[in-house]
Amino acid sequence: MAAEDVVIAVRVSGDIVIARQAGHGLAAKLGFTLTDRTMISTAISEIARNITSYAGSGEIRLLVGEREGRQALVVQAEDQGPGIIDIARAMEDGYSTGKGLGLGLPGAERLMDRLTVRSEPGHGTLVEMWKWVPPGA
């Protein structure tokens, strides 16, 4: 469903709001409940905030795609920042290399059905997370 792809450049805090609203809107269009729409938009906020806090700039891509044999609302957050040295540690509650609370990645993971992280120090990060599209949507 390439027609659903939306890309939001993330450079400043206002872009986080734009990405959050775009995710909320796509989730509504796909028939997600208000609770699920809120969880999706909150997860997008957390990941987009990581881009502005650690990488400076990047992008959020929203799409509908097949994951693990099911339709899903997919969120991809990509940057060319410093990368994550220890992904397993970054997924632990409370771990932060900055001034944050260390809830971004693990919090987003709890809000979505799946979350994966690919990163190489010095070469940026790609976070992909998704929530299954409700049956009948």
Q: Domain ranges in the chain?
A: 2-132
- Taking only the tens place, the pLDDT of each residue in 72-90 is 999 999 999 999 888 888 8
What pLDDT, on a 0 to 100 scale, did the predictor assign at position 96? 57
pTM exceeds cut of 0.85:
yes
H helical segments located in 1-137:
13-29, 34-50, 87-90, 104-111
pLDDT-flagged residues of the chain (< 50): 1-2, 100-102
Asked if CATH classification 3.30.465.10 holds for the domain at 2-132, the reply, yes or no, is no
Please state, as a whole number, how many other Cβ atoms lie within 10 Å of the Cβ of residue 104: 23
What pLDDT, on a 0 to 100 scale, did the predictor assign at position 88? 85
